[in-house]
Chains A and B, each alone.
Chain A
Amino acid sequence: MSTYKIAVIGDKDSILGFKTIGVDTFPVTSDQTALDTLKKLVSENYGVIFITEELAQGIPDVINELHKRYLPTVVLIPNSKGALGIGIEQIRKNVEKAIGADILFRKEG
């Protein structure tokens, strides 16, 4: 057991508020810097990384790869423009992967 840190990656307008509650903020704007930052954070001692859906959209491969690891946990959050529905979509995909059919959302659609 050891101590980890928490980080948030996103556009500055969305994430600055996180700083006040003690989360390390990394404002980025482009996909490339987001990727670099994410890679850097993974190699450092971060246990939970929040990333905005907008940025996550640009780097799905790395995010999916990290989902298979024990740590860190990458969590998608909406940004100030609202949720894109990728986070929910991922839950749906997980259900499909595990069970073979989408039994969670079928009722609604």
Chain B
Amino acid sequence: MYRDDFVRRMQSPGGDRRTGRSMHLDIPLLLILAALCLSGLFVLYSASGQSLYLVKRQAVFMLFGFIAMITVAQFPVRFWERWAILFYLIGLFSLVAVIFFGVGAKGAQRWLDLGVTRFQPSELMKVVVPMTISAFLGKRYIPPSLQHIFVSLVLILLPVLLIVNQPDLGTAILVFASGFFVLFLAGLRKRYLVSAFLLAMAAIPSLWVFVMRDYQKQRVLTLLSPEDDKLGAGWNIIQSTTAIGSGGLTGKGWMQGTQSQLNFLPESHTDFIIAVLAEEFGLIGVLYLCALYFIFVGRCMLIALNSQSQFGRLIAGSLSLTFFIYIFVNMSMVSGILPVVGVPLPLISYGGTSIVALFLGFGILMAISTEPKRIRMEL
């Protein structure tokens, strides 16, 4: 009896969360998630030009996401640690398959057609790569040795290069970042960090010359001076900043945003959806969303901090950081402080695979959060 009570108290530091815990669900995370999803659907309805069809599809994706999240959360953390390498291999295989069987749009081949639906293996790698690196480093000494760093980098770069090749620079950078965050959180020595930084700086020119496509270069140039090409590449940035700025403090009202409703805003229901929100709900809407995101990321980081295993810490930490980077990159590019890269706004932008991939990550976070407390003393 005493022991049961003790365990229960240790398992529920913040009070009685028996229900959530028994279903392996983190209630605060779930609530914020629900709030984000509903807000997302609300904005999407307006951003898609009142397309109930798209909203329904998005809702179905979210439902799938919730199911996937809950399913993933039921597996013990150790399961994911053990099988990470298998998912990694499957992911890598899918990326190779995309080269041969992939379908695409706008000159990029990113999707695999599964008959029922199309899915984007690169999105999955955003979860699988940090999971694999976490599993690998979780069992090793920290800070990671040079040898382990090297192995980790190889594991990261294999899928990243495949994704760059699609080409999908935005996703590739995010996948790379999600893997690199694991290395960083694992305690990568400062000298390696500094040399990595210097290496990255040195690599930018060659990246510019050899890796980046013309349209990608154009996006960077456009960022620097959007007015040079008002109707071409600069159009997106000019129209999105106009949408945001014209929203003011309180916005023009739901479905009243002229920039988005009259199609001045490109990609208004996908990558640029934040501009619709900013135009129609003003700074108040933006701050509301930022607050939700901030609480969400904070909760994720808390889960990481409280994790029982090194694997759990690393993967949870990396996933929260990646999630933040999503938000940061998207909001920055739409408001014109970063070049336009194809990064959707998590949970708000329309897009199936991205949502499902996100929810898979949240599932792992929930598994970690509801992991039974190991009592060191017992060992």
A and B from one complex = no
- The chain A residues found within 8 Å of chain B, CB to CB, are none
